Amino acid sequence: VTAIFLAGLGIGSVTQVTREVEAALRASKEVLFLDTGVATRTYLEQLCPRVTDLYAETYRAGKSRLSGYEHAAIRVVEAALDHPPVAFALHGHPLIAATPPFLVREMARALGLGVKILPGVSAIDTVLADLGVDPVVDGIQMFEASDVLLRRRPLQADVPALLWQIGPIETALHSEHVARPERFDRFIAHLRRYYPQGHEIAAVYSAPHPLLPAQVLRFPLERMGSHAAELHHGFTLYVPPAFRRPVLDHEAAIRLYSAAHLRAITAV
Ligand SMILES: C[S@@+](CC[C@H](N)C(=O)[O-])C[C@H]1O[C@@H](n2cnc3c(N)ncnc32)[C@H](O)[C@@H]1O
């Protein structure tokens, strides 16, 4: 039996909530949520008598985001022990760039509580739609922006890149202050090891409401600092490929269109 639903609310307001998420919210005795969408609370209150906003409890200025996440996870598990089932509803997809659901899963496993994961529309979906990029044509690489610096992650310049959490780069503490231009210097220097001078990149903020447009800021990599004040926590950075990888195995390319080869690799 499910004691905890980990449910995604989508990106573009409640219009992106799936029917299965809505059914779970209705079935829950309490919905605890982390989402700053304009209509989220009003919407949740129509489905469930007890709705708890965890945002203010989770994100405190100057405090580690991780300690806030632990607090949120404990609140969800306590509610599930007291009056199951409960739903933990989060912005986007519940398991994408989100720590608290993983903490909930770990605690629930130790306590023998059943967990059901209900996916939501993620920023991956909306950002790719805003850019009109098919992630399968040249592949896709995705990293968390600070993690790129920590591990000096190599980037593959022929593969489109999505870099998450570009706004809060270089800190694990919560802050609502805008960035100074220099905040991005180390990140730019790292990317310059893989991408040519003047490479045009885009910062994307998908619409948080169906009536608003997506925000797409395009600029040469080196000029990122001049957009520091605009790059809030909701932006994802997109780095397009700098070149197209050439086909190396020409025989494999010819085999793709050979009927004889198809017969050889399939059973009749
Ligand atoms: C804590 S993560 C949450 C991601 C969310 N669970 C999801 O599935 O998209 C926050 C990061 O997601 C990305 N993000 C969230 N909302 C976005 C939006 N409206 N447009 C673009 N990126 C967004 C940004 O990279 C942001 O820093």
Closest residue by Cα to atom 16, ligand 1, is 234
**Pocket perturbation via mutation, ligand 1, pick of 130, 165, 201 by most ligand atoms within 8 A of CB:** 165
Q: Which two tokens stand for residue 162?
A: 């999505």
**Pocket perturbation via mutation, ligand 1, pick of 91, 117, 201, 238 by most ligand atoms within 8 A of CB:** 91
pLDDT of residue 98: 95
Q: Read off the pLDDT of residues 39-73 as tens digits, 9 standing for 90 and up.
A: 899 999 999 999 999 998 888 888 888 888 999 99
Residues lower than pLDDT 70 in the chain: none
Atom of ligand 1 nearest to the CA of 167: 27
How do beta strands 236-239 and 200-205 pair?
A: antiparallel
Query: Is residue 48 within 8 Å of 68, Cβ to Cβ?
Result: no
How far apart CA 261 and CA 198 sit, in angstroms, is 45
pLDDT of residue 225: 98
Q: Which residues pair with 205 in a beta bridge?
A: 215
Q: Read off the pLDDT of residues 171-190 as tens digits, 9 standing for 90 and up.
A: 999 999 999 999 999 999 99
How far apart CA 178 and CA 167 sit, in angstroms, is 9
Closest residue by Cα to atom 4, ligand 1, is 97
Regarding the beta carbon of 92 and ligand 1, being less than 6 Å apart is answered yes
Nearest to 91 by CA among 130, 123, 133, 118: 123
pLDDT of residue 13: 87
Atom of ligand 1 nearest to the CA of 168: 27
pLDDT of residue 182: 97
Regarding the beta carbon of 165 and ligand 1, being less than 6 Å apart is answered yes
pLDDT of residue 63: 83
- Cβ neighbours of 24 (radius 10 Å): 23
**Cβ contacts of 240 within 8 Å, gap of 6 or more:** 160, 199, 200, 201, 202
